[in-house]
Structure formats: C-alpha cells, structure tokens
A = this chain, B = another copy of it.
C-alpha cells in the first residue's frame, strides 16, 4: 500500500505534477502571459497540462476530473471554446467550473486536473 511518489517541476512552494499509484495530480495551472484574454489564457493552461501529462507518461485521453476556476463565471462560454478544441471528445473527464478570484487580477482562469497513467 505504500505506493511510490514521483514529483515533477518541484518548486519551493509546490510541484507541478505528482504521480502516485497510477494516478497523476496536477497543480492548479495558470497562464504565463496574462495580458491575453480568457480564451488565450485557457489555451496556455491547456498546453501546460499537455506537457505535464506527457512528462508523467500519460495524456489528455486519460483525464479523470478537472476543476476550472474562472475569475468571472460569465467567461464560461469562452473557456469552453478552448476546452472543446482541446479535449479528446471520446474521453471527457468529470468537470466542475466555478468562479473564484485568482493569483493576480489579470489571471482569468486556473485549471486543476487529475489523470490516470
């Protein structure tokens, strides 16, 4: 039962991804360039998710769940456009989408996912 843990991109405060027992826990990810609008920020976040899932030896077809935090819930349709362009339509995760103020006032979206290896 004492499963090994592998941590990726260890920083002083958090890891970007943690593997354990065939599952992958990603950090809440935000865009690096917050001068962009919510759709472009979402695209940046989804690219980060792809890169981290790859580093963990998995990919978006194995997403289990996602929580999307939006600075303004009225942006939901905009982020859904980026989400629908990105997500594997045969393998959608469970998802929640709620409003929350984020790291900086310019940060419009943060996404935290769990995936299987």
The answer to whether A95 and B3 touch (CB under 8 A), given A18-B64, A67-B28, is no
Across the interface, A64 reaches (CB within 8 A) one of B25, B90, B96, B99, namely B25
A93 to B3, Cβ gap below 8 A? no
Kindly report how many copies of this chain are found in the complex they form together. 3
Q: Which residues of B contact A3 (CB under 8 A)?
A: 22, 116-117
Range of interface residues on A (Cβ < 8 Å): 35 or more
Contact partners of A21 in chain B: CB under 8 A: 1, 21-23, 116
Q: Using CB atoms and an 8 Å cutoff, list the residues of chain A in contact with chain B.
A: 1-3, 5, 7, 10-18, 20-23, 25-28, 62, 64-67, 69, 73, 76, 80, 83-84, 87, 89-103, 110, 112, 114, 116-117
